Amino acid sequence: MDASNLAATPSALRRRMLAALCVAACAPVMPAARAALPPVVDGAPLPSLAPMLESTMPSVVSIVALGSNQEAAGFGRMPNRARQSSGSGVIVDAAQGYVLTNHHVVRGAQTIRVSLQDGRTLPAKVLGSDPDTDIAVLRIQPDRLQALPLADSSGLRVGDFVVAIGNPYGLGQSVSSGIVSALDRSSLRAAGYQNFIQTDASINPGNSGGALVNLRGELVGINTMIYTPSGGNVGLGFAIPSNLAGDVMRQLLAHGRVMRGTLGLDVLDLNPRLANQLGFAPSATGVVVTRISDGAPAQQAGVLARDLIIALDGKPIATSQQLHNAEGLLPVGQQVRLTLRRAGRQMEVTLRIEPEKDERLHAGSLDARLNGVEFAEMSLAQRRQGNDGLLVTATYPGRSQAASNLRRGDVLIGINQRPVSRLSDLRNLLELLDGQPLLMTLIRGRGIFYLQVR
């Protein structure tokens, strides 16, 4: 823009504007390509997701959980809005009013409200929740609901088209599309069972618990998390496969919890140094057995400490996380093949998955000073995450000094500077100490504290 233009008088400006308007009015109108697309091309309608979405979107709901934790586990931190979290859910049984969502959306919630596409808002009740798979089942009033059918997610292939439906940022129902980028993704978080579908369909905070559907409008996954350096979508979204979500839902409805199986062994990832110490080739992959539980399926099948597990049911096992996933997702009672390397030769054993034991000990039966405190052993899943010790599962304050000072969730790791990791350790130590003062070493949250019991 030159100086003469800057110095133009108001009357000159008006003349120029009128001339421009005249030119614009007289010029031929060129239609915008996007707005002017015809409804058909060569007699065929343009491809559109609209018909499929018209039948699927009424099955996807928005969820507001009050008094819950934020959904940081799935989508990164959001501002703490008076302990309110928003997410999404999927109606999977219209007759019963069952809604699938993520555990982290409703974790700790005191009040849950579910908003339907038709504008209704209904109260919801948590029927069951499983933090290890991040699945929760809600129930709403089964009145004029529309359910989404569950597809067989084992038939998914990389490259299949998928659509994500949810409530991003609490803005209301939104849709994005993409493809299946990868399958069986794991090691994306520190805990839980991980067998994710990866997609480049845009997923953002608030999509937690929403639907990932195929082009037939069937549910193939429950959107649960994104991988991002910024907190927003960068094309790395992850969903829980519908087969896993459906299995967890059935167990939660039948038992109130997920009945998980176990092989009954602890393992360690193989690295070059450990491979050299145990006599395996430097290029060997697998997990080394470090401990086997008494009477466990692995012991009955003849598995030994220092064995190298390289496959489960023919599927290669390279890390403890892979074994953890495979073991925890197998149904109780299923027979499996474990491929091992021992003393330079490869072998295969067959064993049956058994339910994980949930033995609890009322410590007051061993020592009156611990009356009102209940302990349980860490699960194999918890131990593989680097945790060890005895978990305080219940306390009854007032029954003893210990019961008044301990909390549910504390972890006992030692007494009088001696480690405790099994209930048998606790029994033996209390019998050995026989009434002597106890100095208990415990973990609470991220800190260690001591409790003296006289």
| Integer CA distances (angstroms), 188 to 106, 131, 198, 286, 385, in order | 21, 15, 11, 19, 13
pLDDT at 220: 92
Domains of the chain: 54-69+82-139 (2.40.10.10), 153-255 (2.40.10.10), 261-355 (2.30.42.10), 360-453 (2.30.42.10)
Q: CB of 100 within 8 A of CB of 141?
A: no
Q: CB of 90 within 8 A of CB of 61?
A: yes
Q: CB of 138 within 8 A of CB of 124?
A: yes
Average pLDDT, the chain: 79
Residues 130, 132, 134, 200: which is the catalytic one? 134
313 is catalytic: no
Any idea of the CA torsion for 93, 241, 259, 349, to the nearest 10 degrees? 140
**What residue ranges in 320-415 does DSSP mark as E strands?**
335-342, 345-352, 354-355, 360-362, 373-377, 390-395, 411-415
pLDDT at 11: 43
Instruction: Point out the least confidently predicted range of 37-41, 166-170, 302-306, 448-452.
Output: 37-41
Say how many C-beta atoms besides its own lie within 10 A of residue 357's C-beta.
13
Strand partners, 44: 41
Q: What is the C-alpha separation between 2 and 389, in angstroms, rounded?
A: 79
365 is catalytic: no
Q: Assess whether pLDDT exceeds 90 at residue 98.
A: yes
Structural Rg of the chain based on CA atoms: 29
208 is catalytic: yes
pLDDT at 308: 93
Residues 62, 68, 86, 104: which is the catalytic one? 104
pLDDT at 80: 44
Q: Assess whether pLDDT exceeds 70 at residue 341.
A: yes
381-391 pLDDT, tens digit each: 566 555 678 88
| Integer CA distances (angstroms), 294 to 72, 299, 304, 341, 354, in order | 39, 7, 12, 22, 13
- Token code pair at residue 312: 């489960």
Residues 208, 242, 293, 379: which is the catalytic one? 208
Q: Which pTM was predicted?
A: 0.63
